[in-house]
């Protein structure tokens, strides 16, 4: 079975990709104790995804998948965007719960925004880099609304306040399978999964 490294230590993301790539062995960075932490220094989701995948392929010698995703809020002119995971900055790091700090800061910033103007979308860019330099990157989105009060205990990040279009549940209230079916990350990874067999075969990795 082909082994692919997912360039993250986020166990939720590893589990999510494993559910989608059922015929491929997926390992997170926890399986590589000396793997580098790659700073997300690019200004686009695609740039950050490729940056991380390239670094992990170079380090492990294995095919690597990386994603960069974030929440783009209309009332904030598309922010937090690529800064979603570190929106609360040093304050979030100091609290010990960065996700909660990011989420609360976002809610505070749009507290006065009327319900009809609280739209936004999640974006995910997913990159595949193979030994030898072959690269693929795809992008997917999920449109929805930012609710005023967190709901649900599933998922991670901004999931408790994101209500997808056509849904009555936030993404944190959904089962993993229901979320995967419509999420930006699920869509991006499924598209990437369709490219994998041919890409791996062409590179002599199957």
Domain limits, the chain: 3-202
Residue 102 has pLDDT above 90, yes or no: yes
Domain 3-202 top-level CATH class: alpha beta
Contact, 6 vs 13, CB < 8 A? yes
Residue 1 has pLDDT above 60, yes or no: no
Residues forming beta bridges with residue 5, ordered by sequence position? 27, 64
Identified catalytic residue from 68, 99, 112, 180: 68
Contact, 156 vs 183, CB < 8 A? no
- Residue 14 CA to residue 174 CA, distance in Å, equals 18
pLDDT digits (tens, 9 = 90+) for 176-185: 889 989 999 8
The answer to whether 68 is a known catalytic residue is yes
Residue 194 has pLDDT above 90, yes or no: no
pLDDT digits (tens, 9 = 90+) for 151-176: 999 888 999 999 999 999 999 999 98
pLDDT bucket at 13, cuts 50 / 70 / 90: confident
Q: Which residue stretches of 6-131 are H helix?
A: 11-20, 45-60, 89-95, 98-109
- pTM, to two decimals: 0.89
């Amino acid at each position: 079975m082909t082994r692919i490294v997912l360039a993250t230590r986020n166990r939720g993301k590893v589990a999510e990709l494993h559910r989608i790539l059922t015929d491929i062995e997926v390992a997170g960075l926890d399986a590589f104790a000396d793997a580098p932490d790659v700073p997300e220094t690019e200004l686009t989701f695609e740039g950050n995804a490729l940056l991380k995948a390239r670094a992990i392929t170079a380090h492990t010698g294995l095919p690597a998948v990386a994603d960069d995703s974030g929440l783009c809020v209309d009332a904030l002119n598309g922010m937090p965007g690529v800064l979603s995971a570190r929106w609360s900055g040093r304050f979030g790091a100091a609290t010990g719960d960065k996700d909660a700090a990011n989420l609360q800061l976002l809610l505070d910033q749009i507290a006065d925004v009327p319900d009809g103007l609280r739209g936004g979308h999640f974006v995910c860019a997913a990159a595949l880099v193979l030994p030898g330099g072959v690269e693929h990157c795809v992008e997917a989105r999920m449109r929805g609304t930012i609710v005023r009060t967190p709901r649900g205990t599933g998922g991670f990040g901004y999931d408790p306040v994101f209500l997808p279009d056509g849904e009555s549940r936030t993404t944190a209230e959904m089962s993993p399978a229901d979320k995967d079916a419509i999420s930006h990350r699920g869509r991006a990874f499924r598209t990437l999964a369709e490219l994998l067999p041919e890409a791996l075969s062409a590179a002599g990795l199957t």
